[in-house]
Amino acid sequence: MKKNKPSKPDLSRRNFLASLGLGGLGLLLPQTATAATAASKDEELVTLHDLSKCVGCGACVEACREANAHKFPEPTRPFPKMYPSTVKVEDWSTKRQVTDRLTPYNWLYIQSARGQYLGQRFEVHIPRRCMHCQNPPCANLCPWGAAARETNGVVRIDDKICLGGAKCKTVCPWKIPMRQTGVGLYLDILPSLAGNGVMYKCDRCYDRLAKGQKPACVESCPYEVQEIGPRAEIVAKAHALARSMNGYIYGETENGGTNSLYVSPVPFDILDAAITTGPGKPDLDKAPDMMADETNMAYAALFAPVAGIVAGALRIGSRLANGDKDGGKGDGKGAPPTAPPDAGQPTDSKEPWS
């Protein structure tokens, strides 16, 4: 957590209005321009959330669900009986309407924190989803090479080869990936013994980025809470914004550094104490670097090369299982149009940003 020492916090006009139930007046406040700076196709991109602007309207959540609906799982029933029987079925397909937490069908949700800080009431809304870590343990430690970080900073899970073992969730400091049972490659290999579905999370609208568009949540926000751009530029903006509001930054150093930065007029430890956390509801804790852990480092060093090979084999298996109906271009029901190359390792994305 990065702290810019304030003499006195500015709770921001918008949030102060929100605390008085007048958040909608934010529409009348001057807007700053959203960055649309062109970046090189392989440049690391970062998103910046100005939390002093967010009124919690949920338009970004709806936009995310709409833009990514074609990637959501369509499970096959009945689900295979799992051994041992303690392996839990996770079925969100009958609860697709849930929007107050992360699920395989809801990759973004709004957390709200209310309280008092230095004698003033505050109400801060925080859009939560995958942080797209710079050195992501979910990708480094996936035994099947199904999760990968691309050169533009996108971290995504290949649903064609993910077996749903949830290692990514176990090692994620925020427990972001969510499992859906009854879908994916495990049904075609060892349905009762290996895996239990597929893990889903925000993929930062990699397909929109590939077309030079912004992520749906960034584009849809009426208050221009988010912007996205090259890392150096966005980090500098985050620091300038934090200085301007005597505020605080989250995401720059957490888990060794992420490509999602939040700036808030209220310290994040106070926000963390004020939000509801639990399954599908990540905290705002300091999140130490998971890849600095010796066990994780050793595991990554030993298994990363193997995971790349396993991922290649699983990808071939997936194509065979699907009869290579689409030439490996995706099945339109959750598979990316192209699988991340050489999953398990940082990839060499050729996707243009703009």
Instruction: Using CB under 6 A, list all residues that contact ligand SF4.
Output: 54-60, 64, 67-68, 107-108, 110, 125, 127, 129-133, 136-138, 155, 168, 172, 174, 176-177, 201-205, 215-217, 221, 223, 225
List Cα–Cα distances, 180 to 139, 161, 200, in angstroms. Answer: 19, 14, 8
Nearest to 46 by CA among 209, 219, 263, 232: 232
Please report how close the Cβ of residue 150 comes to ligand SF4 at its closest, in angstroms.
11
Please report how close the Cβ of residue 23 comes to ligand SF4 at its closest, in angstroms.
9
Q: Which is nearer to ligand SF4, 82 or 250 (CB)?
A: 250
**141 in Cβ contact with 296 (< 8 Å):** yes
Tokens, residue 181: 């049972």
Q: Which is nearer to ligand SF4, 12 or 68 (CB)?
A: 68
Tokens, residue 87: 């392996």
Q: Which is nearer to ligand SF4, 82 or 150 (CB)?
A: 150
User: 174-183: b or e for each residue (b if 16 or more CB lie within 10 Å)?
Assistant: bbbbbbbbbb
Overall residue count recorded for the chain in this entry: 354
Q: Which is nearer to ligand SF4, 104 or 215 (CB)?
A: 215
- Residue 261 β-bridge partners: 48
Q: Which is nearer to ligand SF4, 39 or 133 (CB)?
A: 133
Please report how close the Cβ of residue 172 comes to ligand SF4 at its closest, in angstroms.
3
Q: Which is nearer to ligand SF4, 129 or 160 (CB)?
A: 129
Please report how close the Cβ of residue 290 comes to ligand SF4 at its closest, in angstroms.
7
Q: Which is nearer to ligand SF4, 4 or 34 (CB)?
A: 34
What span, in angstroms and rounded, lies between the C-alpha atoms of 182 and 109?
Answer: 24
Please report how close the Cβ of residue 185 comes to ligand SF4 at its closest, in angstroms.
20
What span, in angstroms and rounded, lies between the C-alpha atoms of 101 and 189?
Answer: 31
**68 in Cβ contact with 333 (< 8 Å):** no
Please report how close the Cβ of residue 127 comes to ligand SF4 at its closest, in angstroms.
5
Omega before 78 within 30 of 0, i.e. cis: yes
Are β-strands 45-50 and 260-264 bridged in parallel, bridged antiparallel, or unpaired?
parallel
Please report how close the Cβ of residue 70 comes to ligand SF4 at its closest, in angstroms.
12
The DSSP H or E segment spanning 313 is helix 294-321
Angle at 212 between CA 206 and CA 213, to 5 degrees: 70
